[in-house]
Structure 1
């Protein structure tokens, strides 16, 4: 059984970092969107338009990834509360502590993590 207090603290720290990252990404999206709005030129024909479109796409993708990570962290915190933290969601076996240290939000042992995102 992993030291849930240590992992709770780790997850809360990563959660705080992720929230800060999301806020920064939202700011980047707003900035790029504002730049795009101020540009009265069609993205397709403006040399800067493709850059703005790329930056917006990249910022949006990063924000979605961070939101997904936040959901994983919150799910791990819920597993701590219900007593199932450190137990593989597939086989019910223990998740190695080293794996939890690397990915404290994971619900899978290393064997069942293979092939998953």
Structure 2
């Protein structure tokens, strides 16, 4: 399991770096332009793309934090144990959400 978590973390870090590059390029391109987002027909598209990249990057950073935390729990011997009820987290849940901290029953109660 540790190898899988490390592989997923490496992939997430790479994805975040790529998104950061894309966002930086978008900012640089819009900085060099004298376009006014509010009045330029293309401005809405640029604004939407910027918001979408920013949200996707935030999600990637959240995933990185979750995976780092999962690796720490693996090292501590608590990975796969629900933090709420103490029962094992089903392997299918861990496969779908490797950073899961709770079993599906406890996760459903939180909603």
Tell me the TM-score range normalised by the shorter chain: over 0.9
Structure 2 unmatched ranges of 5 or more: none
- 1:82-111: per-residue Cα shift (whole Å, max 9, x none)? 111111011111111121122121111011
4+ runs of 1 displaced by more than 6 Å?
none
Task: Give the corresponding residue for 2:83.
Answer: 89
Task: Give the corresponding residue for 1:114.
Answer: 108
Distance across 2 between alignment mates of 1:89 and 1:37: 46
Task: Give the corresponding residue for 2:58.
Answer: 64
Please give the root-mean-square deviation of Cα atoms over the aligned residues, in Å. Answer: 1.4
Change (3 A) 1:90 1:60: same
The answer to whether the 8 Å contact 1:36/1:49 transfers is: no
Q: Which has the higher contact order (CA 8 A, sep 6+)?
A: 1
Q: Secondary structure at the match of 1:74?
A: helix
TM-score by length of 2: 0.93
The answer to whether the 8 Å contact 1:86/1:100 transfers is: yes
